[in-house]
Amino acid sequence: MRRDVALLLDTHVWVYYARGADELASAVARAIDDARDHGSLFVSVISVWEIALLVRKKRLALPMSPARWTEEALKLSGLHLLPLTPEIAIESVYLPEPIHRDPSDRILIASARLQGMRLVTRDREILSFAKATKLSVLEA
Segments forming the whole domain that contains residue 12: 7-139
Dist. CA 102–CA 121, nearest whole Å: 14
Does any domain span residue 2?
Answer: no
Q: Mind listing the pLDDT tens digit for each residue in 35-53?
A: 999 999 999 999 999 999 9
Q: Looking at the 3D structure of the chain, how many domains does it have?
A: 1
* pTM (2 d.p.): 0.95
Dist. CA 44–CA 11, nearest whole Å: 8
- Burial (CB < 10 A; 0-12, 13-18, 19+), residue 2, is exposed
Q: Mind listing the pLDDT tens digit for each residue in 19-37?
A: 998 999 999 999 999 999 9
Does any domain span residue 61?
Answer: yes
Dist. CA 9–CA 128, nearest whole Å: 17
Does any domain span residue 1?
Answer: no
1, pLDDT greater than 70: no
Task: Give the CATH number for residue 49.
Answer: 3.40.50.1010
